[in-house]
Structures are given as structure tokens and as C-alpha cells.
Amino acid sequence: MIDPLIAGKQPSLSFETIHQHKNGTRIPVEIFLQYINPPGESPRFVAIVRDVSERREATRRLNTTIDEMAHRTKEITLLSELADLLYSCHNVSEAYEVVTRFIPMLLPDLSGALYIIDDTGVNLQSVGSWGTQPPEETVFSPEDCVAVRRGLAYTSKADESALFCRHLPEGKPDISFCMPLAAQGETFGLLHLLAYSDTAATAGQQTDIDAKPRPDFSETIAKQVSMALASLRSREELQNRSIRDPLTNLFNRRYMEESFERELHRAARSEKPAVSFMMIDIDHFKKINDTYGHDAGDMVLRELGYILTRKSRKYDIACRFGGEEFVLCLPGACREIAEKRATDIRESVKRLSLHYEGRDMGVITISVGVSIYPDLGETPAELMKKADQALYQAKENGRDRVVVAEPNNGVSAASPIKLRR
């Protein structure tokens, strides 16, 4: 190393190395060498040795701080992106997917799950999970969670805590962190995070299990998720009120008319266009109301609404058109499928056994008229008129039947639509 100095190629040289102190400890030092060869004197080296332990420690702390700042910046960026995407979601289902994808990026060493109160209001149900060891329970009672009972975030540690959530597995995680999701004082969900030290060890990671799952940051995430989901739930509720019939929870007439037109435009662009439309009417509904009362009539309407919901695909459009009349739009369904579906619905209604105030209401029947796009028309008005005329034929022919409109079914397109009972 000192050859270049002796040869005069370099006036000086500095480097760092490890030096053993006289007390036996090893310390980092910086050595500065200067080769001098004054005239008339013997050439020699001048060496300066300096302990650089403090400088190295300061550099290490600076690098650690820089890394931490970069990590926090990344977290803030991801948290901001999470909030932006959540508020851009069209519905809560999209939001669940966003949460499930983003939390592993924000808290990569943790497993967890997002739970939402189900439609019955009785259970918390998992709508998304992540990590190497996600929670085992997918459905449990809110009473099983200490955090939900308290209305506050709750942390339990396997070797310290006296109280544990009953939804935890038998082999308890090192740390469990539960954060209720609430809006206007009402809990509607739970964010559950788990930390396992053996998972990190298996993966060859060095981790401080006591520092996880970073309650402050985790609660910040939970607040973002809670506010966004609450906003989406409120928006969906308002939207549902505007497009749903409150008695049957089916779509209302306005929504059906808008959707029907959209489905026809979509079918027109398809290689195999087919949209079926059926109009359904409860037979002798006025008699039901007169005999048993309007509450009994409402019960019949709800039961038919339930059957239509159960018999519909997720992209079908079931609607209470008005009074005792219902409609069902079936995108992509040809004549055979529509006729089979209509018959299935008619038979399901006929099998109902309804009682009101202890009185057997007898057999309930429906009549159905079906029209098919594009065979019987290209606009919603044309298809609805054809289905209505087919429905009138079903009524005229004795009720409790399905009639599929034909291009020449003997009913003039200009025939008046009579009032049905």
C-alpha cells in the first residue's frame, strides 16, 4: 500500500482499518500517511492515527434516519393512495378489495382480515384477508371481540395479557390487534391484525415482535378505512333508497327503465343479441286485499319479491313495476331460457303456503307475459308493450300461466291494454 508513496507517485495516503486497543477492544481508525524525503535527511513516514468510532456511529445513525424517513415517506404515499382509491370506489365491495391489497404493503410483516357486520346484523363476516397466517375465523359474534365490546382498539399479547378475544385461534399469535370500524357511534366492522414471531424466523427476517403491529400507524390505517367505508355505506344507502322499492327491496320502475335501455344497447353490439323481458302480475290481488287486508297483500308482494331475488342472476334486473305488477329483465337470455325461468317462478309462487293471522290464504298464482329482443321489438317501449299484451292473454286464458309473445300472436300492436285484476 505504501509503495506509491515511496516512489513519489502520491504525496499522501489515507485509509480506514480496525485497530486493537491496548485494552483489547477493536475500534475503527483512520490512518493518514505522509512520505517525506527532505534534502540531506533520511526519508521517513509521518503517520496520524485517529479513532473514528463516533464518526462511524454518527454516519450509521444518519443512514438509519434517512432510511426511516424514506420508509415513512413511502408509508405516507401508500396511505394517501389508499385513501384516494377508497373514496374513488363505486361500492363497498370494491373498497374491500382495495383494503385487502393495500394493507399488506403498509404492514408487510402482519397477517390480518377485514370483517363487516353481515346483513342480519348478528355476525361479523370476513370480506378479505391477507398475510401468511390470516385469522382462522371467518364468521363470529361481535361479542367474541374485546375491542368491539369496548368500542376501542385492543391489543393482546400471548405471554402477557389476561383477557383474549374469543375469535382468536387456540395457538394464540404473539400479538393480536383489533380495531373496531364505526360511524356515528355504531360499529359496522373490525380490522384485525396478527403478528407471529415464528413466521418472521421461518422467513429469515430479523424483527422486533414487541414493536409490532405499530398501534399508532395501524389505528391511522383503521381510521382511513373506517371513514371511507362509512361514506360508501351511506352513499349506497341513499342510492338504494332512490332506486329500490322499500317493500320488496327490488329495483323501482325508474331504475328498470334506465337499465333496460342500457341492456338493449349492449345487446345490439353483441354477436348474439338476446334480451328477455317478462311482466308478472299476481292473480286476483284485489280479492286478496279485500279478503285478508292490505297487510296480507303486502306479505304476498314481499314473498314474490323474495322469489324473484332468489331466482335472478346477479346481472338480471328484477323490479316492482307498480302495485301487484313486477318485471324481470334477463340480459343474454333467449326464448327457451326465459320461458323456463318464467315457469320456474310461477311454480315457486304456486307452492307458497301463506297464513295471515291464523288464516290460510290458499294458493297464490301469477300470470306472466314474455317478450324477446330483437324478435319482437328493438326499443324498451315495444318490448314492454308486447310483454304486456302477452300477459293480458295469460289472464284471458285462465291465469296461472306463462305466455310468450310471438311476432304474429293475434294481438294487434294497437290493441288497447285493459286493466287487469
- The kind and range of the H/E element at 224 are helix 215-243
Distances (CA, A) of 371 to 81, 118, 152, 193, 304: 48, 37, 56, 53, 20
Query: What class is the 74-241 domain?
Result: alpha beta
Q: What is the pLDDT of residue 415?
A: 36
Q: What is the pLDDT of residue 8?
A: 52
Start-end of H helices in 196-334: 197-202, 215-243, 253-268, 285-292, 294-310
- Provide the CA 413 distance to its chain's centre, in angstroms: 47
Tell me 61's DSSP state: H
Q: What is the pLDDT of residue 59?
A: 82
Distances (CA, A) of 348 to 172, 320, 400: 48, 18, 12
Q: What is the pLDDT of residue 79?
A: 85
Q: What is the pLDDT of residue 9?
A: 56
Point out the residues that are catalytic.
Answer: 324
Query: Which region, left, alpha or beta, applies to residue 362 given φ > 0 means left and ψ of -120 to 50 means alpha?
Result: left
Q: Is the dihedral of CA 149, 150, 155, 159 positive or negative?
A: negative
Asked whether the beta carbons of 384 and 369 are under 8 A apart, the reply is no
Helices 215-243 and 92-106, packing angle to 10 deg:
170
E-state strands within 68-174: 111-117, 124-130, 139-140, 154-157
Q: What is the pLDDT of residue 36?
A: 79
Question: Which three-class secondary structure state does DSSP give residue 13?
Answer: strand
253-404 matches 74-241 in CATH topology: no
Cell of 128: 378479505
Cell numbers 485517529 correspond to what residue? 50
Note if the pTM is more than 0.85.
no
Along the 421 residues of the chain, how does pLDDT read in single tens digits?
556 555 555 677 888 888 787 788 888 888 888 877 778 777 777 888 888 888 888 888 888 888 788 877 888 888 888 889 988 898 899 999 999 999 998 888 899 999 999 877 889 999 999 998 899 889 999 999 999 999 999 998 887 888 899 999 877 788 899 999 988 788 999 999 998 875 443 444 444 333 455 778 888 888 889 999 988 888 888 888 888 999 999 999 989 988 998 999 989 888 778 999 999 999 999 999 999 999 999 999 999 999 999 999 988 999 999 999 999 999 999 999 999 999 999 999 999 999 999 999 999 999 999 999 998 888 999 999 999 999 999 999 999 999 999 886 544 333 333 334 3
253-404 is classed CATH 3.90.400.10: no
Cis peptide before 142 (omega within 30 of 0): no
Domain ranges in the chain are 3-51, 74-241, 253-404
